[in-house]
Amino acid sequence: MPEFLPFRATRHAPAWVSHAADLWAPPYDVLSTADRERLAAAHEHNIVHVDVPVPPGAVPRPEAYAAAAARLAAWRTHGVLVTDAAASYTIVRTSFVDAEGRARTTVGVMGALRIEAPDSTEVRPHERTTPKDSTDRLDLTRATRAQLSPVWGLSSARGLTDLLVAPGQLVGEATDADGVLHRYERVDDAARLAQIARLAGSAPVVIADGHHRYAVSRHYRDEPDAPPAARSVLTHLGELVEDQLAVAAIHRLFTAPDAATLETALRAACEPREMGPMPADVIARMSREGCMVMLRADGTALGLTPRSGAFPGVRDLDSARLEHALAGVGAEAAYQHGLDRVRARLARGEAVAAVLIRPVGIGEILRTAREGALMPPKSTFFAPKLRTGPVLRLLDD
């Protein structure tokens, strides 16, 4: 079974808690260069100064990682960051309005999850990963000897949510630019720590987000000079139940082949339906009508309802159906969440066409956990994204 333990967390000092909105940031891998610049300008102690020392898309420079490590050390020396005297878990409550307009609050807990072998059944991915240069994260970890951004895990242990209902000691809260309230509470009571550790260790964990971070942590763990604490990784753990998850789709932007070839292949596998200019309620219609939607460069939309018998043995996922329908045509896709972002990139000529897909149902996520299966890359976008900055894990402490 997995091992999920408390640790001595490092956080911004209490004097800075009122500035938390300017100190925390989204995960590094969803930031654009402009996002990074905006956050860095918001406050000299914003976590991107350490967590994103190399702007997105820039060529990594060794001196940038050394500078990040020096900044982290300076923040500790000058009392910007402080480390708890005792091991703790941190309860994370996230309040937001979901895509259907419902006000919701989800809860999870941050701790240290033991890193397992790639073929482990105790901690496993839920989707295939895309090729990605891991050098940046590995070099940053080597330089700082710290875990700055959490992996997001889903536990099949029933009762974890109930165990997190009682509040802990508030250590920080902030509302982000999307109106999401992130609240962090420290728990260091010995009896409660033991309860959380016992329950979290009673069932397998599926990685929801942070597959590359987890893989980099495994690589670093195996390096000769890695500290003992590197045997586990900073992880946010939530219960794998419907009311604790908000899953959005990650749409596809195609740069190859040409739009006509893509459309021909999709029409062969799906019943097409011209929709004219993209409807304002396109996402709701996709859910209601059970279809994907192709967006052309001219702004028109084509509904695509899977044909009966066209997808033998293919999982009930739009991402899997799309992968099957376009096999052999040389499809090259980029991934983008958010309809407005998809339309903007298409309008800028960054793709020849886009395909909107529906979110993965909780049933398929549960099936993935149960069977140890893998979804196609970028099948799910778990939201709201966790903050980087509220809880850091320094590996030499």
**CATH number of domain containing 350:** 3.30.1760
* Whether residue 105 is found in the same domain as residue 241: yes
- Peptide bond just before 62 cis, omega within 30 deg: no
β 205-209/123-125 pair status? parallel
Q: Do residues 64 and 205 both lie within one domain?
A: yes
Q: Note the pTM of the prediction, 2 decimals.
A: 0.83
Q: Is 197 part of a structural domain of the chain?
A: yes
For residues 203 and 1, is the Cβ–Cβ distance under 8 A?
Answer: yes
In a shared domain, residues 57 and 102? yes
pLDDT at 362: 73
pLDDT on residue 369: 65
Residues 175 and 283 in one domain: no
What is the pLDDT at residue 278? 93
Residues of the chain with pLDDT under 50: none
Range of the domain at 135: 4-247+382-394
Question: 184 and 241 in one domain?
Answer: yes
Q: Which pLDDT score, from 0 to 100, does residue 98 have?
A: 80
In a domain, 367, yes or no: no
Q: In this predicted structure, what is the pLDDT of residue 133?
A: 54
Check whether residue 338 and residue 191 sit in a common domain: no
In this structure, are 73 and 179 located in the same domain? Answer: yes
User: Does residue 364 lie in a domain region?
Assistant: no
Both tokens of 329, joined, read 């045509």
The pLDDT of residue 129:
61
In eight-state DSSP terms, residue 332 is E
Number of domains the chain contains: 2
Spatial separation of the C-alpha atoms in residues 239 and 380, rounded to whole Å:
17
> Are residues 236 and 342 both part of a single domain?
no
Are 108 and 175 part of one and the same domain? yes
- pLDDT for the residue 372: 72
Q: Which residue from 213, 200, 185 is spatially nearest to 154, judged by alpha carbons?
A: 200
Burial profile 70-89: b = 16 or more Cβ within 10 angstroms, e = fewer: ebbeebbeeebbbebeeebb
Q: Report the pLDDT value the prediction gives residue 282, as an integer from 0 to 100.
A: 92
In a domain, residue 275? The reply is: yes
Answer whether residue 369 is part of any domain: no
Q: Is residue 370 part of a domain?
A: no
User: Do 126 and 64 sit in the same domain of this protein?
Assistant: yes
The answer as to whether 366 is a domain residue is: no
Predicted confidence at residue 322, as pLDDT, reads: 95
pLDDT attached to residue 350: 95
Q: What is the pLDDT of residue 246?
A: 82
Asked whether residue 365 is domain-assigned, the answer is no
Residue 29 is predicted with a pLDDT of 86
Identify whether residues 84 and 205 lie together within a single domain: yes
Angle at 229 between CA 128 and CA 10, to 5 degrees: 95
Considering the domain architecture, whether residues 225 and 302 belong to the same structural domain is answered as no
Distance CA 41, CA 22 (A): 9
